[in-house]
Amino acid sequence: MKEVEFDLHMHSIYSDGRPAPHDIVNIAKSKNIGFAITDHNHIKGSIIAKKLADKDGIPSLCGIELGTNEGKEMLIYFDKPFRAEEFYIKEVEPYKTSRMTRIKRSMWEFVGDEFMSLKRRYEIYFVTIPHPYAMLYKSVKHNPLLSNAMLKVANAVEAVNLSISSKANAKAYWLGVELGKFLTAPSDAHLKSDIGLVTTRLEFDENKTIIKSDISHNFTHSHILKNSLTLLQITKENINYSLLKRGSFKL
């Protein structure tokens, strides 16, 4: 059995984050943790970082925060970079819009039997529902039929997310416990300073299958200033993305 500490949700310059892939690798190395970059509807930063991490023996996964036209989001992880790239090229890239966080597809195309087909085709490693009690469309309370279908295919639920309130995190924790899902505690970092502030200890068997997750070493609290800086970064990059899609300049 092998246990590794991971930060499983963060963003790079390839979506709405400030760190470059090499920054993330260096921070993970300095903190002795594994990581997964999960950019919004993009995979390039994750693949670049994994190649760099592999050279230094740093545990890493390729990930993507899939966002669809309903405003729903799902974290999809791959152990094999070429499968992650295939998934992006065929299932995401042709459907991108001026909104970074939404593609022109429904989340219904990624759940149920459709998900099982995608899982086999792209060798999807595991799936997590991020910030299940975030505001508006991202919440599992919104469109409960679709939310339940997403939860059924998910292996894990984010029980701690630094961009979410303590109250919302507590509700997410008990949701994961009730459903018998693995619990994760990622930073959802958009800034270098947030990477690795909370982590998930994953235990793997000899086949690299996740058999246990432990988040008990973390504590949940509200980072008011940190949340404000993160929201500012997210807003700025989403505006830039929309302007660039229209052929304008970068702020």
Domains of the chain: 2-245 (3.20.20.140)
Candidates 84, 200, 65, 83; CA nearest to 128 is 65
Higher local confidence (pLDDT), 214 or 227: 214
pLDDT score of 17 more than 80: yes
How many Å apart are CA 34 and CA 133, to the nearest integer?
26
* Tens digit of each residue's pLDDT (9 = 90 or more) over 72-121: 999 999 999 999 999 999 999 999 999 999 999 999 999 999 999 999 99
* Tens digit of each residue's pLDDT (9 = 90 or more) over 187-198: 999 999 999 999
Higher local confidence (pLDDT), 33 or 233: 33
* Tens digit of each residue's pLDDT (9 = 90 or more) over 168-180: 999 999 999 999 9
* Tens digit of each residue's pLDDT (9 = 90 or more) over 215-224: 988 864 445 3
Q: Give the pLDDT score at 236.
A: 54
Q: What is the pTM of this model?
A: 0.88
Higher local confidence (pLDDT), 226 or 248: 226
Q: Give the pLDDT score at 1.
A: 62
Higher local confidence (pLDDT), 212 or 226: 212
